[in-house]
Structure 1
Amino acid sequence: MPSYPRPDFQRPALNWTSLDGSWDFTFDDGDNGQSQRWQHQGIPDDNKRQIKVPYAFQTPASGINVHEAHEVLWYERTVSDIRTTEERTKGNRLVLRFGAVDYECAVWVDGQYVGGHRGGHVPFDIDVTDVFELNDGTKSKRLTLRVRDSPTDLGQPRGKQYWGPVPESIFYTPTSGIWLSVWLESVPRLRLGSSSDGTVLRSDDIDGGQLHAKVAVLGRPVAADCQVEVEASLKGVSVSKARQGLPRDKESVSLDVDMHVPDPGLLKGKVHDECWRNGVALWAPEHPILYDLTLRLYDASGSQVDTVETTTGMRQVSWQNGDGTFRLNGKPRFQTLVLDQGYWPETGLTPPSQEALKEDIELALKVGINGCRKHQKVEDPVFFYWADRLGFLVWGEMANAYEFSDEYISRFNSEWVEAVKRDINHPSIVSWTPFNESWGYPSLKDNIEQRNHIRSVYYLTKTLDPTRPINDNCGWEHVSTDLTTYHDYSDSAELAATCADFNTGILGPKADHSMFVGPIHSKTSSVVLDPGSQHTPNAPVICSEFGGVNIVPAEGSTAGERDWGYTTASDPEDLLSRIERLVMAVIKGGHSCGMVYTQLCDIEQEVNGFYAYDRREKVPAAKVKAIFDAAHQYYYEHVAPKTDGDGN
């Protein structure tokens, strides 16, 4: 079980300390803190209270648990230099790492500004070494954060965080301030960079059996010689290694690593027999095989100065197959996903523990789900660590805003790029979804600027990652997309009719929105100003939201006054029956190669999950699993094209 917050990129000689726990905290509703020099003098004693980091003040776990609008927050605690004498002598740097702070923050150490960040769902690092090396005779220093998180700014990416006083419908309690772990880490001055710094481990070349790696290097003196080595092994058996010098004018190096296992017989009984393709062990849900990778950095003298351990899964996603299939490793893959929004009763957006992330995946697998659409949230990195190991397919997504503007464009673009870069090396991620249901884009019908931004994000994402399909605007009003996704919360009879009729059902309007945006013409002539878009023939079609059935409270209990679902079952048996009819309506239509059921568990007043908010079963998991198993069987027997063992 990992405890380090980034187990996907970890140094074996790790020196770090968690800063989670009790911090001084205060609201600054008048925004007077900076003018009163709190960053230099500390938060006044009469303003202080305690908060338990990394939980937002709106949650019970924080120790505050108030549901009020507070835009400016201050955090403070003392920190010490954790570097050993040897590390300081070597020139190690002291780095302050934040998992996520919603939304904007500025950071000071002993009153000296050291950095800041904008974007509430992605990590950032600040090098605080120089402040600690000031010869002032103190071993510990005051760390101060000022956070601004507007409760009402609809141009701020916020996802499901509601902007009104009381959460309602599909929107939930806001999350402000620090909500993922904070820690200090000692790192070499010359060191290997993570995926956020530009390291990409492209693992889709399963036919060539090559891992195409680009490894970033940080802290390099100008033009200094250094070399990067990548060594691959599988279950303790050495596979290969590659070594390459860093180009004089580059901050990264590209190298190919041969992933063919020299003697697969050495691994008999250790890996699944069905995972092999020409000596390469492939990652898939039924055999989530991960190669261990050791990245090493050598300086000009040939001395090893940094080592990082990570993993990769060799697998290929394909969506341009000409037959409507979504394929993994060349074989049609029917995705039975669940909408997973990542909230917990006591901790809100913050996982209550690292184990809780693994448990949510296991709960989904227990009901026959093989993946999730991680909805309107960039989840804790530990979630993807477990998704890789448990063979759980994930659609990566971002928190959207609700107003379109130039400022929003800047905000979204920077945070989306940071999110994609953070998670790009996880084999479990099989698709990117930057936008949902035109949130933030209210005028796609006739606004070229809004369309162009969606197009620009599509191509930006495609440039960062050409190996995964992009679901541009999930649900409807597609502008530029690799997948035709549709949302339909109708009851089973109407859903069945929609899913069986491709042209007027699936491609027909959804919630009064066109499935694909139409052309925009000049108001004074027939000139086409924007061509619009249309379904790409034989592209994968996926019902990416449906279901959402809640249940009448059991006898002797009462529903909350805001409890809500799209439709309501009368009892557990009725709920099971409705789930079955809805699932089979999608698959028996004969056009969809995947589905996303809403949702994994209840969240606050939206009580339409397979599980209650506290993760208790509402209906027997085995009976739900039988429904999804039947859907898989139907797809492969009646919908998917017949293929041989290699997917041909």
Structure 2
Amino acid sequence: MADVPLATPWASDVDPGSVLGEYPRPLMQRSQWLNLNGVWQFQQAGPGDAYPQQALAETILVPFAWESALSGQRKVLNTHRAWYKRTFRVPAAWQDKRLLLHFGAVDWQAQVFVNGRFVGQHQGGFAPFSFDISDFIVVGAEQEVAVNVYDPGSAEGVALGKQANQRFADPGRYTYSPVSGIWQTVWLEPVGERYITAHRAVSDIDRQTLTVQADVDSHHGDGLRLRATAFWQGNPVAQAVGSRLDPLVLEIPQPQLWWPHSPNLYDLKLELLASDSDEVLDQFTSYFAMRKIAIEDRIRNRRSAVKVLTLNHKFVFQFGPLDQGYWPDGLYTAPTDEALRWDIEQAKNWGFNMIRKHIKVEPQRWYYWADKLGMLVWQDLPSTFKPRFESEKTQFETEIQQIIKSFWNHPSIIQWVVFNEHWGAYDVERITRNVMALDQTRLVTGNSGIDAGEPDIDYEVGHIKDNHHYRPPTNPFANNRRAVVNGEYGAIGYKISGHLWDSDGEWVHHNYAGKPEATEEYLRFIGMLNEFKHNDELSGAVYTQWTDVENEMNGLYTYDRKVEKLDHKKVREANLSLWQNDLGDSVASAPKALSEDGGPESVSN
């Protein structure tokens, strides 16, 4: 680990020989896989570099961005390019299988080579991607995989969220350290000649059904069948078999609904069958939830109806922190899976029922823990600096489709936020309607922060009208077309010596004296939100923010997650006052600790 101003408690748990060893894709879990995280060769590259035949000059710990301390590098490359390389062996039991090489995410462009031969290219820093490398493997030999990465960052109109092309010791307002290179798990998976590449599972609590569809990569034509089996607490409750080209509809009797205080999850098994027999060609396990998110009418003053957010046809005030998803030691990448879980579990312990994941997409396992622990997620799509060229717009719109399709099976995600405060915004009405059409099972906000920035525009599209206001919160007028929320407020900040990223140059939204004063202000704002909820039909609010981040000192925790900055007990009680009565007093209990189920067999490497 390179020198860094701050580190989280989990940094010391990172083992270079076993980095993030949990199964990386819990919603599509096959029985075997090979983790390729660990120490890779590394060196800076230049434009047009030839494939490096020799060993690279340095090493890096994958999957941590080269600007991060946990990568061992912690530097900015002036060419914005680098080579990665490592070797691996294919287990003997996989010799007759097709091999898929998976990348959780690489920021921004990845050109992948196996044994010196070009396999493929992917652009976009947040969506997972994979390549079938079967035809590039040398039988009986040690295999070499190499990745050439280019990351233009804010120099081009690509989706990058809060990153900026600047050194981490001198962060700017609202933006943080850049993140480049491989920043999520790299792994290998064996499959048969015919296998499922993706699936969609959509629950309907009104019809008490689950509809399942699957995409298949078949080297031998069509005619295959799909079998889907749903389980509740280990017992099968529904099954359907049909053509892999048609949706399968499973009847789910007396569905156990998913709630923040009771996150009920069903198990799901999908099997790809031969056309003329019950031979299983491919299979994996997954899970799903019976839950519905909607906007519905609520009678106001017994005269007119206004729209409010509902969960399973119940009005539930949605309240949570703005979460930037940054870590001082790993930047975009949490040091361990336990750290990912801790963030969500502690948000529940503070009395929140929702997290707004702010213009960053997390690894699949973050949403797995949100699903398991019962946390609603407002998921922002990563913003760009305003695209200048049609090619940049095409790339942005392609990437947000990839993101949505990669994560739309997670029940915790109940809203997509297309743009934030007009950042990089263009064709807002068209793109918002496209997202609404692509995923009709979730709510969509076109632009979060209608009163932020210039020009002051409410695009009047999407399901939610969302304003931002700092100290104090405010409330848009309720109406009969969209629900209203306060998508950002708060920023009650103060500094704690010894827990600052840059002690000479930090910037804060507002500088309070310390914990008592900051807590008092927080409680005053909760009182205002309760008034907005009861008198003006406010449906939700987002407090800024979960932790301090580099130059922002307005978190509930310090950036290293070692110090609570507000009075936990008072804040928790206040937070629960906003929503626990919507579902009953049982919501007030802290989430029980969960035990990891072990997952599939991981081949040691």
TM-score range (shorter-chain normalised) is 0.7 to 0.9
Hey, what does 2:14 align to over in structure 1?
Answer: none
Distance of aligned partners of 1:83 and 1:188 in 2 relative to their CA distance in 1, 3 Å threshold: farther
Measured at CA, do residues 131 and 106 of structure 1 come closer, stay the same or move farther in structure 2, by a change above 3 Å? same
Judge conservation of contact 1:168–1:562 (CA < 8 Å) in 2. Answer: no
CA contact (8 A) 1:202 1:211 kept: yes
Are the equivalent residues in 1 in contact too, given 2:501–2:550 (CA < 8 A)?
no
2:558 is aligned with 1:612: yes
- Within the candidate set 422, 435, 440, 1:461 is matched to 435
Check conservation: 1:316, 1:329, Cα contact below 8 A: yes
Q: Note closer, same or farther for the CA distance 1:636–1:488 as it changes in structure 2 (3 Å cut).
A: farther
Q: Establish whether residue 160 from structure 1 lines up as the match of residue 162 from structure 2.
A: yes
AA aligned opposite 2:136: V
Q: Mark the CA change 1:8 to 1:632 in structure 2 (over 3 Å): closer, same or farther.
A: same
- 1:635, distance to aligned residue in structure 2 (A): 7.9
Match of 1:6 among 6, 25, 38: 25
Write out per-residue CA displacement over residues 144-181 of structure 1, whole angstroms, 9 at most, x where no aligned residue.
11111014424011100013443222211000010001
Shift of 1:536: 5.5
Shift of residue 220, structure 1, vs aligned partner: 4.7
Query: Which one of the candidate residues 273, 279, 288 is aligned to 1:312?
Result: 288
Q: Match for residue 623 of structure 1?
A: 570
Residues 461-511 of structure 1: CA distance to partner in whole angstroms, max 9, x if unpaired?
12221111100111113322210001001x23xx4xx43xxxxxx36xxxx
TM superposition shift of 1:634 = 8.3
Higher relative contact order (CA 8 A, sep 6+): 2
Corresponding residue number in structure 2 for 1:364? 347
SS in 1 for 2:548: coil
Give the gaps of 5 or more residues in structure 2.
Answer: 1-19, 298-304, 451-456, 585-605
| 1:559 to 1:220, Cα distance in 2 relative to 1, 3 A | closer
Question: CA 1:555–1:187 in 2, change beyond 3 Å: closer, same or farther?
Answer: closer
Aligned-partner Cα distance in 1 for 2:274–2:215: 14
Report the equivalent of 1:642: none
- In terms of mean alpha carbon deviation, does 328-337 or 73-82 score higher? 73-82
Distance 1:15 1:440, change over 3 A: same
Greater helix share, structure number:
1
1:577-623 deviation line (CA, Å, top 9, x unaligned): 11111222233133311100011111112111101112121233222
Aligned-pair distance for 1:315? Answer: 0.6
Q: Report sequence identity in percent.
A: 31
Aligned residues: 543
Within 5 Å, which residues of 2 pair with 1:189-588? 189-194=193-198, 199-203=199-203, 205-223=204-222, 225-246=223-244, 252-260=245-253, 279-302=254-277, 303-321=279-297, 322-405=305-388, 406-441=390-425, 450=426, 453-476=427-450, 477-479=457-459, 480-489=461-470, 491-492=471-472, 495=473, 498-499=474-475, 506=476, 537-553=480-496, 560-588=503-531
**Whole-angstrom distance in 2 between the partners of 1:129 and 1:555:** 51
What's the counterpart of residue 19 of structure 1? Answer: 36
Q: How far 1:630 moved relative to its partner?
A: 2.4
Using the TM superposition, give the Cα deviation of residue 191 of structure 1 relative to its aligned residue in structure 2, in angstroms.
1.1
Q: 1:334 to 1:103 in 2, by over 3 A?
A: same
Report deviation, 1:360: 0.3
In the TM superposition, residue 280 of structure 1 has moved relative to its aligned partner by: 1.4
Specify the alignment match of 1:72 in structure 2: 81
Report if the CA contact (8 A) 2:81-2:150 is conserved.
yes
In structure 2, relative to structure 1, the CA distance for the partners of 1:455 and 1:354 (3 Å cut) is same
* SS at 1:60 equivalent: coil
For residues 197-243 of structure 1, give each alpha carbon's deviation from its aligned partner in whole angstroms, at most 9, with x where no partner exists: xx21111x1121011111222225223x2211111110022211010
1:323: Cα distance to partner? 2.7
More displaced 10-residue stretch of structure 1: 308-317 or 581-590: 581-590
Q: Are the structure 2 counterparts of residues 558 and 53 from structure 1 closer, same or farther at C-alpha, using a change threshold of 3 Å?
A: closer
Contact 2:154-2:385 at 8 Å conserved across structures: no
| Distance in 2 separating the partners of 1:153 and 1:188 | 42
CA drift of 1:398 comes to 1.7
Kindly state the Cα deviation for residue 70 of structure 1 after the two structures are TM-superposed: 3.7
Does structure 2 conserve the Cα–Cα contact (< 8 Å) formed by 1:190 and 1:220?
yes
Task: Indicate the residue corresponding to 1:144 in structure 2.
Answer: 146
Change (3 A) 1:556 1:418: closer
**Alignment-derived partner of residue 33 in structure 1:** 49
Query: Conserved in 1, the CA contact under 8 Å of 2:420 and 2:449?
Result: yes
CA contact (8 A) 1:102 1:175 kept: yes
Shift of 1:636: 9.0
Matched, 1:51 2:52: no
* RMSD, aligned CA: 2.2
Give TM-score, length-normalised by structure 1: 0.80
Based on CA coordinates, which of the two structures has the bigger radius of gyration?
1
TM-score for both structures, normalised by structure 2 = 0.86
Tell me the CA shift for residue 116 of structure 1. 1.0
Question: 8 Å contact 2:341–2:366 — kept in the other structure?
Answer: yes
Aligned residues of 2:547 and 2:554 also touching (Cα < 8 A): yes
Does the aligned pair in 2 maintain the 1:564–1:608 contact within 8 Å?
no
Among 187, 203, 218, which residue is 2:191 paired with? Answer: 187
The CA distance in 1 between the partners of 2:502 and 2:112, in whole Å, is 44
Instruction: Render the CA deviation track for 1:398-423: whole Å, top value 9, x for unaligned.
Output: 21111223122111111101110111
Shift of 1:376: 1.0
Q: Is the 8 A contact 2:462 2:482 kept in 1?
A: no
User: CA–CA distance in 1 between the matches of 2:174 and 2:499?
Assistant: 26
Post-superposition Cα deviations, 1:281-329, rounded to whole Å, max 9, x if no partner, equal 1111111101111111111342111111000000111114343310001
Return closer, same or farther for 1:31/1:19 CA change in 2, 3 Å cut-off: same
CA distance in 2, matches of 1:15, 1:70: 38
CA deviations on 1:232-276 (whole Å, 9 max, x unpaired) are 110022211010023xxxxx431100111xxxxxxxxxxxxxxxx
